[in-house]
Amino acid sequence: MKENSFGGRTFPSKDEKIVPEYVEACLNVAKKHNLDSINIYEETKKDEDWPRYLLDGVHLSSDGATLIYELLKPILEKKIDPSEMLMPYWRDINSVKPEDASKSVPI
C-alpha cells in the first residue's frame, strides 16, 4: 500500500488504477436500474487541485460537497418544481388526524 498526501495530511491509499473500474461499475448499476447518476470522480479530476474536494482522500470537504450540490441541482430541478408545495400548508393540516395530510400529496 502506498501513501498519498492531501491538504498537508498523509494517509494510506490503494492503487488508484482500480478507482475508474469502481466508478464504471457504479455508473453501470445506475444505468441498469434507470437511475440518474453523476461521475464525481471524473468531475474532480478536471481540476488540477482536485485534492481540495477531499478532507482525507475519502471524505468530502466543503468544496467537495459544494461540487456535488452543483452537479445534482440540475438533475433535481428536472424532477421537481421547487415552487410547488409538496405537502399542505401546516395550518391546513387537521391536528386531530394529521395522517390525512398525506392523502393530498401528489405521488
Residue 52 grid cell? 481540495
Q: What are the pLDDT tens digits along the chain (107 aa)? A: 455 665 666 655 556 778 899 999 999 999 999 999 999 999 999 999 999 999 987 899 999 999 999 999 999 988 887 677 777 788 888 888 888 877 766 65
Rounded to whole angstroms, the Cα distance separating 31 from 90 reads: 38
H runs (alpha helix) in the chain = 19-32, 40-45, 62-79
Q: What is the DSSP string of 41-69?
A: HHHHHTSTTGGGGBSSSSSB-HHHHHHHH
Q: 29: which residues sit within 8 A by CB, 6+ positions away?
A: 35
The reported pTM is 0.61
